[in-house]
Structure 1
Amino acid sequence: MTEDHIPTVTRQALLTMMSAVRRTGILRAGVELRVFDAVAGAPTGPDEVATFCGTDPRGMRILLNALAATGLLVKDDDRFSLAPGADNTLVTTHPDYYGDAVRLAASDYEWDAIKRLGDAVRSGGSVMEVNAETPAYTFWEDFAALGTLNTPPIAELVARHVLPGTKERDEVKVLDVACGHGLYGYTLAGHDPRARIWSLDWPNVLAVTETNAEKLGVRDRARFIPGDMFEVPLGGPYDVVVVANVLHHFSTERARELLARMADAVRPGGQLVAIAISTSDEPPHLDPVPHLFSALMLAWTSEGQVHPLSDYEEMVTAAGFAPPKVHGLPDNPLRVLIADRV
């Protein structure tokens, strides 16, 4: 690699990086107050927006100008309208609304963790008394309720690759571990009436998971296992076990222990589906997302980090599964490893 491929560090670049927290806060406030809904119809003045959003007029004027400064709104005279693209990402009635992702990624939970990153680096793990591994952590309720836009296409990918391997079964029993929203299991159930889903998570999260099962019309085929995935009886044996978005919360050894526990719950010839963000062979500046997420895991868990894909493959085989097949989608950071139980 030559030096011209590496971005030069300048004062302006550092200033842009340091102001990111302000930009994120401004976006978060706009989403929280539904400012984008207020200006969606036609150019609108600050007083009208303040009335729609139920805010102080002076405060709203400052926020509108800040949103225009970030490029999310356009100001013309003293009226504001949506910037190109904001209508299908930031207006709540649009099917591609992205505001829920803003509410998750810009939540106080992540901010509180990342601002202690220096302390986490010193100690080698989270210094927060309440963090992502704490039982009944309320962030996971929000995650279950809001989900992310990365989830539905990955859930469809899982269904395409997993269901053909179950065609000889009269019933397809699926365990969804650390299920959160439950969409991986419920997407399988939506595609195949034979599927029965057991969703495992903390009790406070499962209350939201059950609501999602109702919305998706599969509640009659959903069962729930409340508790710690390392300790609660799993039942089974299952035809498919899904372990999604949780392996990066742990060290390699702890993740391997979890997968070995899942292997005991899968019938011979059944399938493991492991879904996780992974680092690649690319330099970090060319593939930044997993490395930034790994820093959050350092600040938010005791031993978590984003692992290389080769480590996930080793974890899966060490737990008693065949070498996994790896799947992914363009512009989606999640990788799907599917492996047969040997």
Structure 2
Amino acid sequence: MAIADGFRVAKVLAVALDFDLFTKLSGGEGTTPEEFGSAEGLAPRPATLLLTACASLGLLDKRDGRYVNSELSEEFLVRGKRYFFGDLVTFTDRREYDAWGKLDVALRTDRPNTWDPDTEQTLFDPQDEHMAELFPKAAHSGAVFTARAMALSHDFGAYRRLLDVGGGLGSFCGELCAHHPNLRATVYDLPFVSGMAEKRLAETEVGDRVDALGGDFFADGLPTGYDAILLTNILHDWSDEESARILAKCHDALGSGGEVIIGEAFLDDDGTGPVAGAVAGLNMLVETAAGTNRSRAAYTEMLNRAGFTDVRRLGLVVDAPLINGALVARKA
């Protein structure tokens, strides 16, 4: 039943964020259904039902008859907090919720249903308001805590300069540099994204060690002069052939001894899970023309074909959204 109810649970969280409920409750004395309903223009019945649902999911606590944020919500669902996760939830709800209602169509046609490959060249179209405005924020929202997990799980301090390919707003670069004071990093993404990244990073405590470059990793060669290249949730967007091209460009850009780090929601090698990777793989059907989640074994073969050696499997020391581990490989 929990599986069948999943779509309802997701909508409760998304709607609560639309009301900005957790941000409004942060640091205050909480609310009652009557107060919440009056503030939001809701009748008592729906106000009570939403607050009760949020409490049942562990998003709110109830103390002395008043609803307050749980510790979970206070850390991850309050706008402005370092690990605010709400932008990813909002993006998923507004762009993908209805599309997943037509999953059967995507399965039968083998085509995405969030955009039209016949009229658009790429999923990442800056003219698409969801992609241009919501996606970079959503990617940052999901990546910043994941970046912390990665920083704690691998010695990025062993590198001098890191290139984050498809690095979005610089979530990983910022977090990794914060944990490793000798590291310098560059965000490499499409120009409309890198411009936003440059502005955001300039306002952070590591702004003097992180910069941003605009480019297209299919049309252009990757920048050189880096001893590590990071690919987090990038290769799953593309076909095997396209992913091979990206890895070949990484190999060309690195010097001898340079390393590439791939972070993904990997599938198990036997193809039986885990749930997060398998469902994310179906999301690639809904969202991309040829993308798919892959196993570590599949990526190891791709890395070897691209010329990389010494492929190591990296686990995360803490659970994180979006990825469940990484692969690290070296250029001989």
TM bucket (normalised to shorter chain) is 0.7 to 0.9
Partner of 1:313 in structure 2? 300
Partner of 2:107 in structure 1? 121
Partner of 1:299 in structure 2? 286
Partner of 1:10 in structure 2? none
Secondary structure of 2:150's aligned partner: helix
User: Is residue 11 of structure 2 the alignment partner of residue 25 of structure 1?
Assistant: yes
In structure 1, the gaps of 5 or more residues are 1-12, 167-171
User: Is residue 40 of structure 2 the alignment partner of residue 55 of structure 1?
Assistant: yes
State the identity %: 25
User: Is residue 157 of structure 2 the alignment partner of residue 190 of structure 1?
Assistant: no
CA distance in 2 between counterparts of 1:188 and 1:76 reads 38
Q: CA 1:299/1:154 → structure 2, altered by over 3 Å: closer, same or farther?
A: same
Bigger mean CA deviation after superposition, 38-47 or 219-228:
38-47
| Alignment of structure 1 residues 95-174 onto 2, 5 Å | 98-104=85-91, 106-127=92-113, 128-129=115-116, 133-136=123-126, 137-138=131-132, 139-148=134-143, 149-158=145-154, 160=155, 162-164=156-158, 166=159, 172-174=160-162
Secondary structure of 1:234's aligned partner: coil
Kindly provide the amino acid, as one letter, of the partner of residue 173 in structure 1: R
User: Is residue 325 of structure 2 the alignment partner of residue 339 of structure 1?
Assistant: no
CA contact (8 A) 1:190 1:218 kept: yes
CA distance in 1 between counterparts of 2:195 and 2:286 reads 27
CA contact (8 A) 1:68 1:74 kept: no
CA distance in 1 between counterparts of 2:74 and 2:319 reads 19
CA distance in 1 between counterparts of 2:182 and 2:139 reads 24
Deviation at 1:32, TM superposition (A): 2.3
CA distance in 1 between counterparts of 2:279 and 2:136 reads 23
Larger Rg, first or second structure (1 or 2): 1
Kindly provide the amino acid, as one letter, of the partner of residue 154 in structure 1: M
TM-score when scaled to structure 1? 0.79
CA distance in 2 between counterparts of 1:218 and 1:278 reads 30
TM-score when scaled to structure 2? 0.81
Deviation at 1:205, TM superposition (A): 1.6
The match for 2:224 among 236, 242, 251 is 236
Kindly provide the amino acid, as one letter, of the partner of residue 68 in structure 1: T
CA distance in 2 between counterparts of 1:48 and 1:277 reads 41
Q: CA 1:238/1:92 → structure 2, altered by over 3 Å: closer, same or farther?
A: closer
User: Is residue 253 of structure 2 the alignment partner of residue 265 of structure 1?
Assistant: yes
CA contact (8 A) 1:313 1:323 kept: no
Q: CA 1:307/1:228 → structure 2, altered by over 3 Å: closer, same or farther?
A: same
In structure 2, the gaps of 5 or more residues are none
Deviation at 1:341, TM superposition (A): 0.8
Secondary structure of 1:323's aligned partner: strand
Kindly provide the amino acid, as one letter, of the partner of residue 57 in structure 1: L
Secondary structure of 2:309's aligned partner: coil
Kindly provide the amino acid, as one letter, of the partner of residue 62 in structure 1: P
Cα RMSD after superposing both structures: 3.1
Partner of 2:311 in structure 1? 324
Secondary structure of 1:268's aligned partner: coil
CA contact (8 A) 1:201 1:225 kept: yes
Kindly provide the amino acid, as one letter, of the partner of residue 291 in structure 2: G
CA contact (8 A) 1:185 1:242 kept: no
Partner of 2:187 in structure 1? 199
Cα deviation 1:305-337 (Å, max 9, x = unaligned): 110110011111111111311111153443211
